């Protein structure tokens, strides 16, 4: 489950209102996501604070005031039932030039104020769109028919991941993270399989750069972690947020595993 899907269930998770399968799925997600765990702690603190509040006592004359209001409303309804259709038509046909003129003038003033406030933003958006169209080569605008022998661009890669890039950012094909490799001499060790696996959390910013936020499982060779952190900060490891149509800043969990390739011509 993604963070967006789990957020709607965290309140019921704290109140023990989920079915066992859904609760188990939430628990598995919370084990690897520190952001959702922090949100659960906030909900539990809020629930505890609400439980400590004292229940206010109703005023002594509340029942009497409600009864009086009900009696007044019943009398008004009986009076309205005595109004004929002719009375309603005569009331609606009465001229109201001053009221209509004031409403029209207020609408014009409000529309003018909103238009003048939004006009600089609309012009800026139009100029930004024109600059983006001018800077983008024709081959990057359409995915259909691009040459597979040419290096893929960040725009094309983000478009290929359109169903998923709102939940996870797209890698920059020319960034340091996409080309990150470890030589056998550096990553090889005599430990158990999986000693060089690592799970880290990174913050991805709107310009494509990223920063290491937390290490959930550190590798045995700490140089791998240093290389990974360096690759996050170099050459915009991810595509800009505008290409992915994702939030300005988002948190991502990486599970990195070492794979030994024995083929000599690879």
Structure tokens at 27: 């628990």
Q: Is residue 97, in this structure, part of any structural domain at all?
A: no
Between 266 and 53, where is the model more confident?
53
**What's the number of domains the chain is made of?**
2
Question: Which of 31, 47, 63 marks a domain boundary?
Answer: 47
- End-to-end alpha carbon distance in the chain: 35
Q: Of all residues in the chain, what percent are helix, strand and coil, respectively (each to 5)?
A: 55, 10, 40
User: Is residue 194 very low, low, confident or very high in pLDDT (cuts 50, 70, 90)?
Assistant: low
Average pLDDT, the chain: 78
Spatial CA neighbour of 203 closest among 244, 233, 178, 160: 233
Tell which wins on pLDDT, 47 or 185. 47
Q: How many CB atoms lie within 10 A of CB 233?
A: 14
pLDDT of residue 69: 92
Is residue 37 in some structural domain? yes
pLDDT at residue 118 tops 50? yes
Is residue 142 scored above 50 in pLDDT? no
Query: What is the extent of the structural domain holding 43?
Result: 3-47
Identify whether 246 is part of a domain: yes
CA distance 171 to 125: 26
Residue 228 reports pLDDT greater than 60: yes
Residue 136 lies in a domain: no
Q: Return the CA Rg of the chain.
A: 31
Asked if the structure places residue 89 within a domain, the reply is no
- pTM value surpassing 0.95: no
Q: What is the DSSP secondary structure assignment for residue 249, as one 8-state letter?
A: S
Q: What is the pLDDT of residue 4?
A: 75
CA torsion, points 204, 206, 207, 213, in degrees to nearest 10?
A: -20
pLDDT of residue 97: 64
More confident residue, 259 or 199: 199
Backbone angles phi, psi at 146, to 5 degrees: -75, 155
Q: Is residue 263 part of a domain?
A: no
pLDDT in tens, 163-172: 877 778 888 8
* pLDDT higher than 50, residue 222: yes
Q: Which residues of 104-130 are buried (b: 16+ CB within 10 A; e: fewer)?
A: eeeeeeeeeeeeeeeeeeeeeeeeeee
Structure tokens that stand for 243 in this block: 């290409």
Q: In this structure, is residue 75 part of a structural domain?
A: no
Question: Edge-to-edge strands of the sheet including 210-217?
Answer: 210-217, 198-204, 250-256
* In-domain check, residue 194: yes
Average the pLDDT over 12-38 and give the result: 85
């Amino acid at each position: 489950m993604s963070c967006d899907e789990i957020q709607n269930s965290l309140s019921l998770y704290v109140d023990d209102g989920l079915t066992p399968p859904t609760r188990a799925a939430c628990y598995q997600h919370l084990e690897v996501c520190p952001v959702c765990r922090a949100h659960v702690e906030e909900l539990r603190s809020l629930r505890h604070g609400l439980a400590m509040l004292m229940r206010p006592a109703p005023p002594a004359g509340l029942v009497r005031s409600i009864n009086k209001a009900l009696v007044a409303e019943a009398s008004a309804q009986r009076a309205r039932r005595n109004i004929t259709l002719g009375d309603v038509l005569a009331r609606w046909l009465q001229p109201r030039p001053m009221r209509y003129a004031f409403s029209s003038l207020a609408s014009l003033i409000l529309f003018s104020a909103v238009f003048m406030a939004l006009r600089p933003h609309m012009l800026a958006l139009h100029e930004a769109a024109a600059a983006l169209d001018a800077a983008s080569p024709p081959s990057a605008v359409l995915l259909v028919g691009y040459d597979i022998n040419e290096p893929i661009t960040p725009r094309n890669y983000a478009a290929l991941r359109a169903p998923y890039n709102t939940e996870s950012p797209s890698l920059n094909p020319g960034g340091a993270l996409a080309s990150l490799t470890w030589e056998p001499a550096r990553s090889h060790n005599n430990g158990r399989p999986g000693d060089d696996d690592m799970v880290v959390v990174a913050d991805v910013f709107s310009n494509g750069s990223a920063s290491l936020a937390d290490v959930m499982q550190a590798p045995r060779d700490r140089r791998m972690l240093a290389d990974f952190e360096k690759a996050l900060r170099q050459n915009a490891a991810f595509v800009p947020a505008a290409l992915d149509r994702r939030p300005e800043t988002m948190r991502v969990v990486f599970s990195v595993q070492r794979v030994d390739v024995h083929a000599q011509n690879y």
